[in-house]
Amino acid sequence: MIVAANFKMHKTRKETIEYLTELKKIDFENVKVAVFPPFTALIEDELIGAQNAYPAKNGAFTGEIGLEQLREFNIKRVLLGHSERRFLNESQEFIAKKFEFYKNEGFEIFYCVGEPLEVRKKGIEEVIEYIKAQFEGIDLEYDKLIIAYEPVWAIGTGVSASEEEIQKTHLKLRELTSSPLLYGGSVKLNNIENILKIKNVDGVLVGSASLDVEVFKQMIVKAKEIKWLCKEKRDLL
């Protein structure tokens, strides 16, 4: 199981350090845990990944950070393609460029895909076509790829996709890739168990609910329990 926290534009460096200290009081046996803080809170820690990165070592790219800045903190994990980045006009071509660059650097890549509500309303086939376009230029065979299915309409709304929607979508995604498949979009303490029990769900990407370290710790504990309940789930470690 993989349990990842996306802080988005929340928390300072001091708060992130305190968070990690608290988080590490539980053991992560059988669970892969990742934490994506804002750039200003990047620290050298095996749990940490960057929420975004420019596809270059360094250069004249105002407001961006690249490989050189990530290397300072020994960061080897990056989140790419999040819908909140796509809203900021990141094209598929540009995201694919980032993917290629960080793949070549051996990074673990959490790659986000997901459809807007108007596409979901048209049905599962349309959803998959939409997601396939988000896979353009992405090497689905990359061994350090983790895919997060995050329907745009479920992110930050408090309304997650239904278990049936997640199950059907992940089943289709499984036909396209053997990479671990996370679900993201309003994952909370009260729905994480049911979501993790769904076939082809290998973990979760959690936004708002991860901000409270006590809640996130409990989520990890639940993920550990599910692993034993769902013996057919692949061992991802």
User: By C-alpha distance, which of 81, 113, 128, 82 is closest to 100?
Assistant: 81
- In the numeric block, which tokens belong to residue 78? 């990056």
Q: What angle do CA 121, 126, 130 make, to 5 degrees?
A: 110
CB of residue 232 vs ligand PGA: minimum separation in angstroms?
26
- In the numeric block, which tokens belong to residue 213? 């370290």
**For ligand PGA, which is the closer residue by CB, 96 or 205?**
205
Q: Which amino acid, one-letter code, is at 87?
A: F
CB of residue 188 vs ligand PGA: minimum separation in angstroms?
8
Q: Is 179 in the site for ligand PGA (CB under 6 A)?
A: no
Burial label, 130 (beta-carbon count in 10 A; 0-12, 13-18, 19+): middle
CA distance 47 to 76: 10
Q: Is 184 in the site for ligand PGA (CB under 6 A)?
A: yes
**For ligand PGA, which is the closer residue by CB, 70 or 155?**
155
Selected binder of ligand PGA within 37, 49, 151, 207 (CB under 6 A): 207
CA distance 237 to 233: 12
Query: x/- site string to ligand PGA, residues 137 to 156, per CB under 6 A?
Result: -------------x----xx
What is the DSSP secondary-structure string of 55-68? SSSS-S-TT---HH
From the list 82, 108, 115, 170, the catalytic residue is 82
The residue sitting closest to ligand PGA, measured at its beta carbon, is 207
Residue 10: active-site member? no
> Segment near ligand PGA (CB under 6 A), from 120-128, 133-141, 166-174, 201-209?
201-209
**For ligand PGA, which is the closer residue by CB, 16 or 186?**
186
Q: Is 37 in the site for ligand PGA (CB under 6 A)?
A: no
Selected binder of ligand PGA within 80, 95, 182, 187 (CB under 6 A): 187
From the list 84, 108, 115, 150, the catalytic residue is 150
- In the numeric block, which tokens belong to residue 125? 């086939």
CA distance 38 to 49: 9
Q: CB 193: neighbour CB atoms within 10 A?
A: 14
Binding region for ligand PGA (CB under 6 A): 6, 150, 155-156, 184-187, 205-209
Catalytically active residues, by annotation:
82, 150
